[in-house]
Chains A and B, each alone.
Chain A
């Protein structure tokens, strides 16, 4: 079962914690908002992805099945 990252852009306020914890899949644009790689998450990054999801203060970042 593969998963991918999804951002709710309405809840996202650009805290940027996610990009620190998962730089391989998330970078910040010039305004501080996350640019998320929407491809299936490599298994090796799953732990970091869950940390990133958990660290979001507004719960904007989610892992969904794809």
Chain B
């Protein structure tokens, strides 16, 4: 179980953090503890009413895409009214990114906050069906925990829309919106082509709202405390707080709730460490960006601040690569995983990612051939924007940032050397891969 730290590492009182996770201890909250902490579920008693609060709050999705929540809800509500079809609401807790643990932690410690958010979102769009979609258990029996939580809520009759639990297959793409819907409809967890967007036509043809579980938790608090409260932390353009999965040189994942706009150096330099000077930082997970540590030290955790480094906040994954590891070797291992996780539906992704993976394996070894790096650049360009989902785009971004950030290491490898002294893999990469159709279902 990942340890959750309380509070934020920034100095001073970042007002009222943590918000989502319970302040004391690592014990999962039951219904009564939850109500004692945050108060009762404030239904609005009609669809649509919550949406303007969400707009004023400026809440964006915490699943990685940072899409404005009020716009998604409004789109689903509008589609439902236009087509006269009740929508479906899905809480996305798939967290298929291996380096991320924040959703699993949230669901373990504060499931009721997520379930509150699910009910409120369902009410806001007039849904009659709600689904909580979670990753096949990683370390704890999250499924059993959630079933208990749902049963408790049924006992006190607080839920207005029945909640089903559904399990995501252990695939990297399983959390992608259209793949999720495809899977819930009985098929493999592979993406489908949009248009039509799932907000228009999703599960069983109904307008479908998919929100990350952390987003729903924030929504549940905004409904109680209002948009101005939400904006007390964060930046003007990107308000609020978010959960981050942070790995420093010791490799231990820590879940921390931080205000948007917090300086990265406050998060990544552990107590007693000199601060970020050498090495590299991975911002945003395996579809994210490698940034030299010295540059990362000057950045803040918000999309506006990260833009100049070509990075995005994503799902709040921050990893410091220890200086005794080789960034190229780590990147090659991850890209091999990303390639194996391709759905294999679209020609460019199917053809490009395995070739990029093989070329990176070569660059990560001794004396790579002359044209290999140019091949990687060309293939990265060829796969970007040409798939049905953004998997190839993300992989290409990750790869290109590695080639830039580890340029010096590339030079060493060309001369048959390597700057690393430890060959133990550092970045978490799952072992099994999909071999049959069943592995996707």
Contact = CB atoms under 8 A, between A and B. Distances in A.
Contacts of B193: 8-11
Contacts of B345: 9-10
A8 B348 CA distance: 12
Contacts of B352: 31
B387 A9 contact: yes
B388 A31 contact: no
A49 B323 CA distance: 54
B382 interface: yes
B388 A32 contact: no
B65 interface: no
B346 A12 contact: yes
A35 interface: yes
B228 interface: no
A60 B262 CA distance: 45
Interface size class of B (residues with CB under 8 A): 10 to 19
A11 B345 CA distance: 8
Nearest to B346: A9
B192 A33 contact: no
B347 A31 contact: yes
B351 interface: yes
A7 B345 CA distance: 13
B347 A8 contact: no
Interface string B336-347: 000000000111
A11 B192 CA distance: 10
Interface string B372-388: 00000000001000111
Contacts, number: 37
Given A31-B348, A33-B347, A33-B348, A10 B382 contact: no
Query: Which of A12, A13, A14, A29 has the largest count of B CB atoms less than 10 A from its CB?
Result: A29
A58 to B, nearest CB: 12
Nearest to B345: A10
Contacts of B382: 29-30, 35
A42 B387 CA distance: 25
Interface residues of A, number: 14
Interface in B272-309: none
Contact of B386 (A13, A30, A35): A35
A9 B24 CA distance: 50
A10 B192 contact: yes
Contacts of A13: 347
A51 B192 CA distance: 26
A4 to B, nearest CB: 13
A14 B347 contact: yes
Contacts of A30: 382
Interface in A10-51: 10-14, 29-33, 35
Contacts of B387: 9
Interface string B19-42: 000000000000000000000000
A29 B348 contact: yes
Interface in B143-158: none
A37 to B, nearest CB: 12
Contacts of A7: 386
B404 to A, nearest CB: 24
Interface string B346-360: 111101100000000
A33 B346 CA distance: 9
A31 B388 CA distance: 17
Contacts of B351: 31, 33
A32 B347 contact: yes
B386 A33 contact: yes
B376 to A, nearest CB: 14
B192 A9 contact: no
Nearest to B385: A38
Interface string B180-194: 000000000001110
A24 to B, nearest CB: 19
Nearest to B350: A31
A30 B352 CA distance: 10
16 contacts: A7-B386, A9-B193, A9-B347, A9-B348, A9-B387, A9-B388, A10-B193, A10-B388, A11-B193, A12-B346, A12-B347, A14-B347, A30-B382, A31-B347, A31-B348, A31-B352
Given A9-B349, A10-B192, A35-B382, 8 more contacts: A10-B345, A10-B346, A11-B193, A12-B346, A30-B382, A31-B352, A33-B347, A33-B351
Interface of A: 7-14, 29-33, 35
CB-CB nearest 6 A-B residue pairs: A33-B347, A9-B346, A31-B351, A10-B345, A8-B193, A10-B388
